[in-house]
Each structure stands twice: as C-alpha cells, then as structure tokens.
Amino acid sequence: MWPFTKFPSLPDSEVLERTVSIGTPDAVALLGYGTPGVSDVSDFAAFTLSAWYRACAVHSGAVAQLPLQTLETDSDGRTAVMPSWMDNPCSWPGPDGTTQTRMTPFEFFETIDLHLLHWGDAFLQHMRNGAGAIVGLWPVHPGLVAPEWDASRPGGKRFVVTMDPDRDGGELRTETFDADSMTQIMGVSLDGLRGMSRIALARRGLTGMINADEVASAQLTNGATISGLVTPGDDDITPAEALTISDTINEKMTGPHNSGRIPVINRRLTFTPWTMSNVDLQFLESREFAISEVARWIGIPANLLFKDNAVSTWGTGVEIVNRGLRQYSLSPETTRIQQRLSLLHSNPRRRAEFDYTAFVQPSTEDMIKSILEQVNGGLITVNEGRAKLNLPTIDGGDLLRTPAGAAPPPVAPAGLDPAPEGTTP
C-alpha cells in the first residue's frame, strides 16, 4: 500500500488503494533498504561526474546510432525491410498536413536509453492520427510517471502522469494512460511493475564520487600547493627578514632560468620538502577506482572512459571490444526496446529490429578476405560480394563459382529438357 502520495485528480478512496513498485527509490528507503545518511542523486548531479557522463554518452550514443528497421516475414518465410513510421518515430503530420519532427531518430533513441540507464524505465506516449492509427511516439520523463496495477485497463496497468506545470499554464494536473495510449519499456525489475532505478541503486557510490570531486575542488582552491617549507636555524628572524629570505629563495632557486645555479644565502635555514601523504595518495587512487566502478554500473569497458593504465584495444582489438559491448551491454537494452515497439505494429508479420551490421563490421582487410572466401566457396556471387562493398555490378558476376575440388553440377544433354522435379529421368 502507498497512501503517502496524493494526486489532485484522484479521489481519496482511490489514493488509499494505490500500489508502488519495489523499484521506486522512496519505497526502498521506507522499507529500510536504503543507505542511511546518503541523499538522493539527481540526473544532473550524476552527469557532473565525468566518468558517469562519458559512460552514459558512450552507451546511449551507440544505441542511438543503430538503425531501427521494420522487418516483415511473408508466408514463404522470406524477410524484407519495409518502410514504417518507426523509421522516424518522433515525427508525425501536423494540423496543416506538414510533417513535424519533434526529435530526430538519434535524439529519440538516445533519450530512451538514458531514461533506461538512469530510471530503469522509458515511457512513450502514443501519437495518433485522425483515423486512430499510431503515427509517432513521445518520450515522457520517468520521474513524472507512476505506474500502478489495474486489471481493468489494457495491459493490466495504468500510468498516472504528472503533467508539466510550465507547459500547462502553471497548473499542476495529472493524466492517466494505459497500454492503448502509452508504452512502458521496463528495465531490470523485481516485480514487473517498473524497473529499478540505476541511480538509486548506485547512489552510495555516486554520492562518494561527488563528494570526492568537491574535496578535490576545495583542496585546489584552499589547500597548500607549496613545494616545501623553509625554517630558520637557532636565530629568530623578523617578519621583514623572513620576507627578504623568501623573495631571495624564490628568485635564485625557482624557475627554469635558475637550473644548475648554486645560490648563497647568508642565513642558516632548513628546507623541508612538502610531499604527498599516504592519505592524499589513497584519495587519488579512490578517484581512479571510481572510473572502474562507473564502468561496471553502466557496462562500458574502462578503456572507453579514458581510464589510466587501461588495456589498449586499438587495431583488431576494437572489433573484439565492440562485439563484447554489443553482446553483454547494448543488446539487452535494444532487445527491450525492439520487442516493445514490435507490439505497436498492426501487422503481426512485422517486427522492429536494430541493425548491428555497421557496429560490428570488421576491418576492410578482414571484410575483403571474408567476401573472397564466400565467393570462391560458391556461397555468394561476385556481384553479391561487390554489393557489400558498395561497388557496381559487372557482367557475368551473377553466377556462383564451383569450389576447387568440388564436382561440377550436372548438365542435361543437348536437346533434352531437364527431368521434372520429383521424377526419375
């Protein structure tokens, strides 16, 4: 039961029956599973961490670059790419008949992936034409949506959305959606109502990283950055003499122009170098460790976050990293998206699918070698191989080659028709 949040448009009797997901940060804290003394971390606060920003940018940018194709399989099992409104899902006809593009496909899928990474859910409002057909989708910020179980609604859920006061003339109001008017793309979930917020789960580590950045900023602003301390010998010196000695030391001992010089100072002085303490070293190591921690939370290789001493993957290693990134990090997210979007197609033979061809494409040398092996092995024709390299067709390039050592295909004698299929000649 969740009687602690009231929406203006809901009667009191309905408010008392509202349910909340275990993935909601407030519910986690209420049940005692939160972290005492750790405040919530907002989207903006998390993005102030360079490692978190870079990890999310790499993940969402990679997903947004993948083309979303609409595939249709006919009764013979042949699959073809078909044009669809999902080619540009955040664009639909306006009142004057012209196409209104609210977000480009890159911006649209980047936003969806960021919502999944931060909040564990992405909510898409259905935009329909005059005939009632879906012609576009509009992403709604997950922080404004409260999903609830409702068996009387399509999909078994209702989505209570707090509308933006600034967009609605300063009035706070709510609107209720269901599966007919909103699609929920759910991340990792414990109850099937909503996904778990990654920021809420990682808030202990994120709070520590934010505090470390604040400490580093304060240390650079207010901390000591001197190279050492000079103290007098047995004799006391006046403030004026101390200033003269300091100016003399800085003038004769610091800077590149004093390299190799032997300064002479008419005082007995002791110089103590200012060295970094073990505490300072552990502080720097903890900040370096934070990059690895963020890489684990988002599922990005640490070398893509420019981590010091990370294993280099230039050359053939890039292909290996991309394949691992696709298999274990990107593919689970894109599968969630494409399966939910596939349900929006009115044609059951159609499905949405991200195309990873360019993402996992091997180097040019490896691709040419693979194509030659397929052509010489009789798997594809020369023209099919040239098409993969965006080259024009050539005459005679549509015949399959016979692999070396293989028996040639049987040829019917001249003047005779081949025997019908299923008969004995």
User: Which range, 61-65, 214-218, 243-247, has the best average confidence (pLDDT)?
Assistant: 61-65
The count of structural domains within the chain is 2
67-76 pLDDT per residue, tens: 999 999 988 8
In a domain, 78, yes or no: no
In a domain, 267, yes or no: yes
Tell me the C-alpha distance between 425 and 423, whole Å.
6
- Domain residues for the domain of 269 are 227-273
Q: Is 136 helix (H, G, I), strand (E, B) or coil?
A: strand
Compute how many other C-beta atoms are within 10 angstroms of the C-beta atom of residue 341.
23
Whether the CB-CB separation of 188 and 196 falls below 8 Å is answered with yes
Q: What pLDDT score was predicted for residue 51?
A: 87
In this structure, of 183-197, 233-247, 411-425, the range with the lowest mean pLDDT score is 411-425
- From residue 294, give the alpha-carbon distance in Å to each of 52, 203, 222, 364: 6, 11, 28, 33
169-223 pLDDT per residue, tens: 566 788 999 999 999 999 999 999 999 988 888 877 777 676 666 666 665 555 5
In a domain, 367, yes or no: yes
- Return the closest-CA partner of residue 401 out of 422, 425, 423, 382: 382
How far, rounded to the nearest angstrom, does the alpha carbon of residue 248 sit from its chain's CA centroid? 56
In a domain, 244, yes or no: yes
- Which residues partner with 161 through β-bridges? 145, 175
In a domain, 256, yes or no: yes
Task: Report the relative pairing of strands 182-186 and 121-128 from DSSP bridges.
Answer: antiparallel
- Return the closest-CA partner of residue 165 out of 178, 154, 174, 176: 174
pLDDT over 70, % of the chain: 71
320-377 pLDDT per residue, tens: 777 888 888 899 999 999 999 999 998 899 999 999 887 777 667 778 888 898 888 8
DSSP 413: P
Q: Among positive and negative, which fits the CA dihedral 238, 243, 246, 251?
A: negative
Q: Is 246 helix (H, G, I), strand (E, B) or coil?
A: helix
Alpha helices per DSSP H over 124-238: 198-201, 203-222
In a domain, 390, yes or no: yes
Task: Report the relative pairing of strands 79-82 and 68-73 from DSSP bridges.
Answer: antiparallel
Is residue 24 scored above 60 in pLDDT? Answer: no
Where are the extended beta strands (E) located within 109-244? 121-128, 134-140, 145-149, 157-162, 174-177, 182-186, 228-232
Q: What pTM was computed for the model? A: 0.68
Compute how many other C-beta atoms are within 10 angstroms of the C-beta atom of residue 299.
17
Across the chain, mean pLDDT equals 77
In a domain, 284, yes or no: no
Q: How confident is the model at residue 23 (pLDDT cuts 50, 70, 90)?
A: low
Q: What pLDDT score was predicted for residue 268?
A: 74
In a domain, 415, yes or no: no
